[in-house]
A and B are shown apart, each in its own frame.
Chain A
Amino acid sequence: MNLIVASAGVLIGLLVWWLAVSRLTTKSWEAQGTTDGRGTAEMLGVAPERVGLWVLLAVITSFFALFITAYAMRMTPHPVRGISLADWQPLPEPWILWVNTVLLLLGSTFMQVARVGASRGKATLARVGLLAGGAFAFAFLAGQWLAWRQLQAEGYYAAANPANAFFYVLTGLHGLHLLGGLCVWGWTLARMSRDDAIRDGVRLSVELCTVYWHYLLVVWLVLFGLLLIT
């Protein structure tokens, strides 16, 4: 629960800070006339898609933070009348998760290559980076699937223990988010192959995909770390 408060606090804190710096103290009833000759997007200098993505990432952060909080609370329930109710039996993490982590890291790296390629107008580099980034993401998902199969084969079923259930839920939801990212990735790839040169829209798409890839890598590292230490 402390985690809930902390994560909400951080998010709200950021928001308040941002609002505060955007002159929440203006005396709007006194000031007349236009502020300056520009629209708001120009003032912020950020594409709306980028703002949209960051808002989405905040939502997903809230989602995973709450899951992690639930994880922590379920792991160590409050004792009732001095009797511990803990039934948590940690499961051994399959070694393939390490391989998957490397795959996701490579995927992120290649997406970064694509981003750099796109921003410098090097179409081939961008294309290769994007393809490899997506391919490694697919490989990661396949690897996660193998990890599930391995645990099933060893008898670690979801219903048997909360640790198992959380493992499947967290990895599954992370995978779903990556799958959603891969849909956008496919769309970007299709748009990119329509043209030899890199258009502005495609450049932005590649960039946003890259941000999302990095973000999901961070989420995975946090989740994997959590699974390892508990």
Chain B
Amino acid sequence: MAYVAIADQHAHLHDPQTFLTKYVWSQDHKVIAIQYMVTAVAVGLLALALSVLMRLQLGFPDTFSFITPSNYYQFVTMHGMIMVIYLLTALFLGGFGNYLIPLMCGARDMVFPYLNMVSYWVYLLAVLVLVASFFVPGGPTGAGWTLYPPQAILDGTPGANWGITLMLVSLGIFIVAFTMGGLNYVTTVLQARCRGMTLMRMPLSVWGIFMATILGLLAFPALLVSAVMMTLDNHLGTSFFMPALVSMGEQSGHKGGSPLLFQHLFWFFGHPEVYIVALPAFGIVSDLISTHARRHIFGYRMMVWAIVAIGALSFVVWAHHMYVSGMNPYFGFFFATTTLIIAVPTAIKVYNWVLTLWRGDIHLTVPMLFAIGFVFTFLNGGLTGLFLGNVTVDVPLSDTYFVVAHFHMVMGVSPILVVCGAIYHWYPKMTGRMADETLGRIHFWGTFLGTYAIYLPMHYLGILGVPRRYYALGDTYFIPESVHTMNAGITIAAIVVAVFQLLFLFNLVWSLKHGKAASANPWRATTLEWQTPDTPPKHGNWGPELPVVYRWAYEYGVPGLKEDFVPQNQPPDSLPRTSDRHGHL
């Protein structure tokens, strides 16, 4: 059967007519991307506010009467869950995935635009259900973002009835939304690339998002399975996870359930989730570094293989979150080994970023600052991961602030730095205006130094044995006075960092009107999204003719050419050359 290339089909390009179809019920991937981003950032601000409240309690205990122990646990839980799933996952895949995949692959849109639209609205529903839990009797769940049973659904835990139910329902809805989006991302990458865009010519951003989507599609079902079973334990009285126990002086109706089973299922999702967030960040940061260092990415092939290898390995390391859970101790050996093996492809990526910078023509633009900040932070967080990956070192450090510091460095601060860098980088394409540079620099230094002021001291707290999850430390013999001082300092740093994020938002809103008008390709980048006929790109992206790709995405600094970059879609015979030709090509 003769088949017209999907990207060439005009049939699904029903041009939007009214305001509603253009901006609200839009099927355009760019509008959906921005809807995803705005929603994710809005709910992220809520999570940011929650973290400030948490820090206020930790830094200045006995000061804020409105933060009760129950509130504190609710803040912790909602902060974690929102940041990991509703902000980072949604922003990287729903936001950047939606925006970048069709543009970078040279397609007119996602292959299933209607499904894409539904995906966003279902995601919004998930967010609303989650936020609704603040307004139900008992408030949101306070079970910790890992939602471990049995405590998650026992009466002593805040939100054990309504809160946890809404959380699980919201997660279920989110997974449905993600699956719809994910089908689109995978199918678009596989099927809708323009002519000449082979897999090995795709920008690494697309590779990262593509692999992360596959991980999400295979891992989120584990969360769904555990959510279904926990809901039934809570409401039908089954005993999938709930052992026989005495709660509030009464024997509960459950018996024989396995809390450990939940932990296995949760982390079978939970660890790939780390890479669902990290792989898009890896991809995007590779593109930022290459573009702003005016140098081809070092070891492109190795970078792709590393993304694939990390994705595959991320499914066999989950139990390193469970060394102290009471699982069979022999598992620890296996999972420590796989965990340390995953450091190999990750280290390859870090070397390649550094080697890309090496002797590059580094432009310290705002996106570049964030990209370099990411490499530092990810390295720091990764190194403490080597400590925690080893069972014998992990056991004493478990449940201390060392763990909090580690995972915030590696999957909190690092991806957020990439998010910020990516927003500054693609803002001109999305809006047609440059974000303000000075504000951007202030934002970078405030965020970068501020987050180090928060998380570096936390490592020391952890080594001292300060436990995490405690509402107040009180008088504990092994905790010196200096810890309290340090906690107060961390809190102040956290507030400062939060304020810097408001500055970021102000910059984004202000530049929308007052920013410098952006040219089509302000960073002089090679990838296709910068070669669109309009900025911001119009519906259908490419005008009458689809682009044709002639080379990989990293043709920077080729000797003998006038420009120091060659767009992917520039025909080889029309390259402007310098008069005195030297070198090859």
Interface residues of A (CB under 8 A from B): 1, 4-5, 8-9, 11-12, 15-16, 19, 22-29, 31-35, 37-42, 44-49, 51-52, 55-56, 58-60, 62-63, 66-67, 70, 73-74, 77-78, 85-87, 158-159, 162, 165, 169, 173
B236 touches A66 (CB 8 A): no
> Chain B's interface: helix, strand, loop or mixed, by majority?
helix
Nearest A residue (CB) for B311: A12
Digitize B169-194: 1 where CB-to-A-CB distance is under 8 Å, 0 elsewhere.
Answer: 00000000001001110110011111
The size class of the interface chain B forms with chain A is 35 or more
Nearest B residue (CB) for A172: B228
Taken together as a complex, chains A and B put the C-alpha atoms of A56 and B253 apart, in Å, by 38
Shortest Cβ distance from B181 into chain A, in angstroms?
Answer: 12
Contact partners of B552 in chain A: CB under 8 A: 28-29, 31
Nearest A residue (CB) for B319: A1
Contact partners of B228 in chain A: CB under 8 A: 169, 173
Contact partners of A25 in chain B: CB under 8 A: 301
Q: Is B441 an interface residue (CB 8 A)?
A: no
24 A–B contacts, CB within 8 A, in A order: A4-B264, A5-B316, A15-B312, A28-B552, A33-B551, A39-B7, A39-B193, A39-B194, A41-B191, A42-B5, A47-B3, A48-B6, A48-B191, A51-B186, A55-B187, A56-B183, A58-B218, A66-B225, A66-B265, A74-B257, A78-B328, A159-B253, A162-B240, A162-B256
A39 touches B195 (CB 8 A): yes
Beyond A40-B197, A55-B187, is A27–B301 a contact (Cβ under 8 Å)? Answer: yes
Complex partner residue of B218 from A8, A41, A70, A162, CB under 8 angstroms: A8
Interface residues of B (CB under 8 A from A): 1, 3-8, 111-112, 179, 182-184, 186-187, 190-201, 214, 217-219, 221-222, 224-225, 228-229, 232, 236-240, 253, 255-258, 261, 264-265, 268, 296, 300-301, 304-305, 308, 311-312, 315-316, 328, 548-552, 554, 572
B312 touches A12 (CB 8 A): yes
Contact partners of B237 in chain A: CB under 8 A: 158-159
Shortest Cβ distance from B172 into chain A, in angstroms?
Answer: 12
A40 touches B311 (CB 8 A): no
Contact partners of A85 in chain B: CB under 8 A: 256
Beyond A39-B194, A47-B3, A52-B183, is A70–B200 a contact (Cβ under 8 Å)? Answer: no
Nearest A residue (CB) for B269: A66
Taken together as a complex, chains A and B put the C-alpha atoms of A40 and B111 apart, in Å, by 13
Beyond A1-B264, A34-B550, A158-B236, is A40–B187 a contact (Cβ under 8 Å)? Answer: no
Taken together as a complex, chains A and B put the C-alpha atoms of A66 and B228 apart, in Å, by 12
Complex partner residue of A165 from B187, B199, B239, B572, CB under 8 angstroms: B239
Most buried by B among A46, A58, A74: A74
Complex partner residue of A66 from B5, B222, B311, B551, CB under 8 angstroms: B222
Taken together as a complex, chains A and B put the C-alpha atoms of A138 and B316 apart, in Å, by 40
A63 touches B221 (CB 8 A): yes
A40 touches B258 (CB 8 A): no
Taken together as a complex, chains A and B put the C-alpha atoms of A9 and B218 apart, in Å, by 11
